[in-house]
């Protein structure tokens, strides 16, 4: 059975995965880039930008596991873009330019479906209004034998965790107190009982935590 995985999902020590005030200019609201500064220097991220360089340390080793064996992604609409409510048009195709780094089908959860968009490099965005279970069924069908990644944001990951649909969860805890925004852990009391937890800190100051279904 293919697994359902979350990778490189950053939160503050007070549990916020995005700040307040998400907008086109501030995808993570008042958090700015602070949740992801550990990630930017990594070779994994630099390659997403099409650049050949980047660090090869422990942060990169962990970050780099995000893509292997993934056949489809599911993301929430808030990860796809800052718009809310009905789409004004179909011009917005995500933050990632013409060749997004996914290179697989990507299922965008939205209450406002629109036609699928085929991008360069193998990424196709499908817009579906579906429960986590139904979205996962479609993503698994698209992924074949490969795994499905839940790409975020926090609402989407939390919904899949509540439904116990996630097999592997990688969280990067950044030592900042964000104070406001959207929390990851709400409504997940006792989550650890379903997983084996591992943690490691890296010189960037981040604590990487993995929760894996035994």
Helix axes 154-162, 132-143, angle to 10 degrees: 100
Identity of the residue, 35 or 119, whose beta carbon is nearer to a second copy in the bound complex? 35
Site string (7-36) toward a second copy, x via CB under 8 A: ------xxx---------------------
Does 62 interact with a second copy (rule: CB under 8 A)? no
Identity of the residue, 108 or 178, whose beta carbon is nearer to a second copy in the bound complex? 178
Does 192 interact with a second copy (rule: CB under 8 A)? yes
Helix (H, G, I), strand (E, B) or coil at 74: strand
The per-residue DSSP string of 102-161 comes to --SEEEEE-SS----EE-GGG-EEEEE---HHHHHHHHHHHHTTSEEEEEE-HHHHHHHH
Write out the binding residues for a second copy, residues 172-191 only, by CB under 8 A. 173, 175-180, 183, 185-191
Q: Give the N- to C-terminal CA distance of the chain in Å, as an integer.
A: 14
Identity of the residue, 61 or 188, whose beta carbon is nearer to a second copy in the bound complex? 188
Identity of the residue, 33 or 201, whose beta carbon is nearer to a second copy in the bound complex? 201
Chain contacts with a second copy (rule: CB under 8 A): 13-15, 173, 175-180, 183, 185-192, 197-201, 205-207, 209
């Amino acid at each position: 059975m293919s697994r359902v995985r979350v990778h490189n999902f950053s939160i503050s020590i007070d549990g916020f995965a995005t700040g307040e005030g998400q907008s086109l200019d501030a995808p993570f609201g008042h958090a700015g880039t602070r949740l992801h500064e550990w990630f930017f220097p990594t070779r994994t991220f630099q390659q997403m930008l099409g650049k050949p360089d980047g660090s090869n340390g422990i942060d990169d080793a962990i970050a780099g596991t995000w893509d292997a064996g993934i056949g489809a992604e599911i993301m929430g609409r808030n990860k796809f873009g800052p718009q809310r409510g009905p789409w004004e048009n179909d011009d917005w195709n995500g933050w990632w330019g013409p060749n997004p780094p996914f290179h697989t089908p990507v299922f965008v959860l939205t209450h406002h479906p629109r036609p699928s968009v085929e991008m360069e490099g193998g990424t196709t965005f499908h817009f579906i209004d579906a429960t986590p279970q139904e979205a996962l069924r479609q993503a698994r069908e698209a992924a074949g034998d490969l795994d499905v990644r839940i790409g975020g944001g926090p609402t989407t990951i939390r919904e899949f965790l509540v439904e116990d649909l996630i097999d592997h969860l990688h969280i990067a805890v950044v030592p900042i107190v964000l104070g406001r925004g959207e929390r990851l852990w709400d409504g997940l009391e006792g989550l650890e009982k379903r997983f084996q937890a591992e943690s490691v800190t890296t010189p960037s100051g981040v604590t990487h935590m993995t929760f894996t279904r035994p």
